[in-house]
Amino acid sequence: MQVPVNGPDPVPQRLDRLTLRGDPRAPALVDRDGTLNYAGFDEAVGMLAAALLDRAATGDRIACWLPKTRIACLLPLACARAGLVHVPINPLLKRAQVAHILADSGAVLLITQPARLDTLQPGDLGSAEAIDALAISLDGAGLAPSALDADPQTLAQILYTSGSTGRPKGVMLSHANLWLGAVSVAHYFGLAGDDRVLALLPLSFDYGQSQLLATWAAGGCAYPLDYLTPADAVKAVVKAGITTLAGVPPLWVQLVEAKWPTDGAPTLRRITNTGGRLSVPLVRRLRTLFPDARLFSMYGLTEAFRSTYLDPELIDRHPDSIGTAIPFAEILVVTPDGTIAADGQPGELVHAGPLVAQGYWQDAERTALRFRPAPAASALGGMAVWSGDTVMRGADGLLRFVGRDDEMIKSAGNRISPTEVEEAAVAAGAAEAVALGIADERLGQSVLLVARGDGDHDRLLSAMKRDLPNFMVPHRVIWRDALPRNANGKLDRVALKSEYVQEAGA
């Protein structure tokens, strides 16, 4: 394993052991319900685990469709303690996506809120029992002990992420994946027991969940926040004396445009980014607004937790770089013939090591495409994640992102499956549709829908807004009498993308 000198302990443990990392008297979680110190945090995790075991058996999947409530924050560790598998669902998703995740995962419980439950239709729950999160009482409940001798390679979580085609697929993460990921991030961030981390990102994202787990791995305190406007985030940073702030590029665009106090945010020690590359102008603005904060630029894959980070000392000189491998990761740049690319030669980013996930839940075909044996040159060997992304290593040893080979649309930090958008468009009345990602300064990419049909624009968008989360709804719809096809009779995405990407850049 790639572990730096004086680096983190590479021995994985059960995820729920994170409750024991901090001073029992120190705060672990501050939310609308108050403050939990580490002693109370450990007790609450044990109580919630016991409550879950009253309704489920070892290995069962427990789905959570909630904003950043206390229950949502405790569930990853409570499921781990109870020997259950946590299935977080993005709170922005709507009934069709939620129903798919419930059916695909075979969840036996869905912990949610009545208002969300009311949006589901008969049959959407499948075999899951719906539980109102507010009905789960932790007062006076029993305590579930931690299974200290259990195998850290046991499945702990299924994290659903959209693929370039089809519906969301479940990435299988073990205790070891999550434990080592949390310890790795805490180490290279330099997190400490006095850090206060504002958790703005959805907990259903790997990066959003990492806000919590890395904080607890360092014995620090997490402040989950469901914000409505950037001003809410600014207020929280100032009021709580936040030291660490994570975001994706569109969020950083909003935050640099927000009104900050005249002294900025003097308590901020570090700001972190992944989910898309920061533009050079945005890096400059962040460095000006937060001159005393270390800026971490990162690249990650849900299938491998995270892969690289750029040392903040290098950000001013190399703002376009994604850096080098994080602790516990081995990163190789591989050419099409399987050899290691020379400096300056593009190749596919391949991630090997103990952060590699266990594959896709009940999807051997897609697992075989992404998870393959590491290249012969790998020092760690074993199964690797072949990202499909093209990168290039410079003579300075730093990696730079070149391009994404699949058709994934990445908007405002969300990974969007074009097929899912297209299916919704056809269901809404389009005869055929192709969804494309078009460069957008604020969002990274915006969704363009090219459709053939009756041209009823209002009806189409009204139905899509009803059936899809807001980030999937097209920003622009173009109606055409015919769509181009390739030699196989399939819709020619390449021709459409070339046409409209050039138009957008004109």
Q: Where are the domains of the chain?
A: 15-399, 409-505
Q: Which fold has domain 409-505?
A: GMP Synthetase; Chain A, domain 3 (3.30.300)
**90-99, 365-374, 418-427, 467-476: which has the minimum mean pLDDT?**
418-427
Q: Which two tokens stand for residue 14?
A: 């059960």
DSSP of 351-371: EESTT----BTT-HHHHHHHE
| 481 pLDDT above the threshold of 90 | yes
**150-154, 313-317, 450-454, 500-504: which has the minimum mean pLDDT?**
500-504
Average pLDDT over residues 422-432: 88
**94-108, 133-147, 445-459: which has the minimum mean pLDDT?**
133-147
Cα gap 224→73, rounded to integer Å: 8
Amino acid at site 324: T
Strand partners, 432: 452
Instruction: Give pLDDT, residue 425.
Output: 92
| 138 pLDDT above the threshold of 90 | no
Neighbour count for residue 96 (Cβ, 10 Å): 17
| 310 pLDDT above the threshold of 70 | yes
Query: How distant, in Å, are the alpha carbons of 5, 55, 114, 265 from that of 297?
Result: 22, 42, 39, 19
Which range has highest mean pLDDT (233-237, 249-253, 407-411, 492-496)?
Answer: 233-237
pLDDT band at 487 (very low <50, low <70, confident <90, very high): very low
If you average pLDDT over every residue of the chain, what do you get? 91
**4-13, 180-189, 284-293: which has the minimum mean pLDDT?**
4-13
Strand partners, 340: 334
pLDDT band at 98 (very low <50, low <70, confident <90, very high): very high
Q: Which fold has domain 15-399?
A: Rossmann fold (3.40.50)
Between helix 418-427 and helix 457-467 the angle, nearest 10°, is 120
| 404 pLDDT above the threshold of 50 | yes
pLDDT band at 3 (very low <50, low <70, confident <90, very high): very low
pLDDT band at 372 (very low <50, low <70, confident <90, very high): very high
Average pLDDT over residues 97-125: 96
Q: Which two tokens stand for residue 449?
A: 């829908």
| 431-444 residue pLDDT tens | 889 999 999 988 99
Tell me, rounded to whole angstroms, the distance of Cα 429 from its chain centroid.
32
Average pLDDT over residues 374-393: 95
Q: Do domains 15-399 and 409-505 have the same CATH topology?
A: no
Query: How distant, in Å, are the alpha carbons of 15, 273, 275 from that of 401?
Result: 32, 15, 12
Cα gap 8→152, rounded to integer Å: 17
pLDDT band at 4 (very low <50, low <70, confident <90, very high): very low
**3-state secondary structure at position 122:** coil
| 382 pLDDT above the threshold of 70 | yes
Instruction: Give pLDDT, residue 506.
Output: 41
| 189 pLDDT above the threshold of 80 | yes
| 205-226 residue pLDDT tens | 999 999 999 999 999 999 999 9
| 2 pLDDT above the threshold of 60 | no
pLDDT higher for 420 or 188? 188
Indicate the pTM of the whole model.
Answer: 0.86
Long-range CB contacts for residues 27-33, cutoff 8 Å, separation at least 24: 27/221, 28/216, 28/221, 28/222, 29/70, 29/73, 29/221, 29/222, 29/224, 30/221, 30/222, 30/223, 30/240, 31/68, 31/69, 31/70, 31/73, 31/223, 31/224, 33/70
Longest dimension (CA), the chain: 68
Strand partners, 198: 223, 245
Average pLDDT over residues 91-98: 91
| 276 pLDDT above the threshold of 60 | yes
| 42 pLDDT above the threshold of 60 | yes
Q: What percent of the chain has pLDDT over 70?
A: 94
Cα gap 23→261, rounded to integer Å: 33
